[in-house]
Amino acid sequence: MKKATSSEVTICGHTYDEYIEMVKAFHGHVAPGMALSGFMVDLACRNLPQGEYFDAISETRKCLPDAVQLLTPCTVGNGWLRIIDLGRFALSLFEKYTGNGVRVYVDSRKLGDWPELKGFFFRLKPKKEQDFEALMAEVRLAQASIFGLQEVMVNLDSVKTHHRGAFAVCPLCGEGYPEDDGETCLGCQGKAPYLRCEAPGSRGD
Ligand SMILES: [Zn+2]
């Protein structure tokens, strides 16, 4: 990632407008949280410690994971992004072998000058009463000024991905599943989210 040299607002090497277009394509709509998240990922990337390989942690499920996936090589699917849902709007990028990294969070003490942002962040008014344009303008003006930056050392044991054990064929559904889950797969143990799950047209009614 290149360090920005001009005074133009950039997010990980993209102009702000480019980033907003990327958000539309990936996230479906321009959420204020996505604009905020772009600046957070950018700040983290500018402050990475020494190292070559970085993993990411998002402390929320909302917006921030999508910004990490848009702007860094870390995704949920490749395992380099973990969501540890602490309910805090914060992320860390850390060197994967040492755990050394940086954490960026929204500093609630710095929101005083930004009424729309503060209202949005603390959900002080219902969504339909929010002034979307004013909110987006504040996010763009505030940029990284409302964030805090910390150095962190991640407990690597706590983010280790489980190596999967042996797989078996479930006697009920016939699909592969981790043997450790029991006699049948978790889906057949009643944990599947479906009210109905069958071959197309097999209802016969
Ligand atoms: Zn099954």
What's the CA-to-centroid distance between 30 and ligand 1, angstroms? 39
What's the CA-to-centroid distance between 164 and ligand 1, angstroms? 18
**Gap between the Cα atoms of 180 and 186, Å rounded:** 10
Q: Is 65 helix (H, G, I), strand (E, B) or coil?
A: helix
What's the CA-to-centroid distance between 178 and ligand 1, angstroms? 11
Same domain, 202 and 103: no
**Structure tokens belonging to residue 157:** 């044991």
What's the CA-to-centroid distance between 77 and ligand 1, angstroms? 23
Comparing CA positions, the residue from 26, 50, 49 lying closest to residue 38 is 26
pLDDT band at 205 (very low <50, low <70, confident <90, very high): low
What are φ and ψ of residue 106, in 5° steps?
A: -80, 120
Same domain, 67 and 89: yes
What's the CA-to-centroid distance between 140 and ligand 1, angstroms? 49
Same domain, 143 and 200: no
Q: Where are the alpha helices (DSSP H) in the chain?
A: 16-27, 32-46, 64-71, 115-121, 132-142
Same domain, 71 and 25: yes
Same domain, 205 and 115: no
Residue found under tokens 């993993």: 55
Which residues make up the environment of ion ligand 1, defined by Cβ < 5 Å? 170, 172-173, 184-185, 188
**Structure tokens belonging to residue 6:** 């001009």
Q: Tens digits of per-residue pLDDT, 72-96?
A: 999 999 999 999 999 999 999 999 9
Report the pLDDT averaged over residues 44-61. 95
- If one compares 89 and 201, the residue with the highest pLDDT of the two is 89
CB distance 93 to 49 below 8 Å = no
Report the pLDDT averaged over residues 37-44. 98
What's the CA-to-centroid distance between 174 and ligand 1, angstroms? 6
Instruction: For residue 187, give the CATH number of its domain.
Output: 3.30.60.80
What's the CA-to-centroid distance between 192 and ligand 1, angstroms? 10
Same domain, 128 and 27: yes
**Structure tokens belonging to residue 56:** 């990411």
Residue type, 163: H
- Reading phi first (left if > 0) and then psi (alpha if -120 to 50, else beta), residue 190 is in left
Predicted confidence at residue 6, as pLDDT, reads 45
What's the CA-to-centroid distance between 169 and ligand 1, angstroms? 8
**Gap between the Cα atoms of 102 and 23, Å rounded:** 24
Q: Where are the alpha helices (DSSP H) in 47-190?
A: 64-71, 115-121, 132-142
* Number of domains observed in the structure of the chain: 2
DSSP 105: E
**Gap between the Cα atoms of 39 and 47, Å rounded:** 13
CB distance 153 to 129 below 8 Å = no
